Amino acid sequence: MADAVVFDMDGVLVESEHLWERLWTAFAAERGKQWGPEQTKSCQGMSAPEWAAFLTEFAGAGDSAADTERTVVDGMIKALEDGEIELLPGALEMITDAAARGPIALASSAPRRVIDAVLAHHGVDHHFKATVSSAEVPRGKPSPDVYLAAADKLGVPAADCLAVEDSSNGLRAAAAAGMTVVAIPNPGYPPAADALAGAAHRAADHDDVRRYLLSRLAESSQLTESSQSKEGDRA
């Protein structure tokens, strides 16, 4: 049973992981360094200040971490405006149907500027009762901080939340928060076996996720209705 859902954004709601990688690679290349899959893997799940510090040190060209972050985030906003960041197939139905059953939140490694722009651009921002960027908590994923903050903003215990994730560090973060984890593996960046092992359900696609969420939220709703009915009978 569950009372709320917390979604990741990159790779769960929108197809954008490859754009982060493209921008990190370009930033490094412009400074004479070759960014590769290992660097991308290291950065996935990091908050913006964390990956900006990593990229700045890797590039070694004397940029400040703040300037590095601004350059990459500007690139993501441009990609959004150019139509490169689309909702994944089935994501809209997943969001709207889950929000109709219970409160939903977002727990993302993306910076606040990107979160707000993406949700507004696709007209889904009003569905979310809370959104948290990992830049707004002490530690990024795989630490549970961003998920715990999202649950706190919803006013729902983390143990009573479902979490939808695609990446290794995201799956680890949600599990560490004590949430029931739904994995929707990203084929381009497949999660590690140990991260998948912490998921209660491994979904084949977004419709699979949607049906699973509704079944769990429906159970919670039915239980509440049944409890209220029994209390009314006793009264």
Active site residues: 8, 10
The position carrying tokens 């004397």 is 62
In angstroms and rounded to an integer, the radius of gyration of the C-alpha atoms of the chain is: 19
CA distances from 192 to 109, 116, 171, 188, 206 (A): 18, 29, 10, 13, 20
Question: Cα 15 to chain center, whole Å?
Answer: 12
17: CB partners within 8 A, 6+ apart:
10, 11, 44, 167, 186, 188, 189
Q: What is the DSSP letter of 111?
A: -
Question: Cα 190 to chain center, whole Å?
Answer: 15
Q: Which amino acid does the sequence have at 142?
A: P
87: CB partners within 8 A, 6+ apart:
13, 14, 122, 124
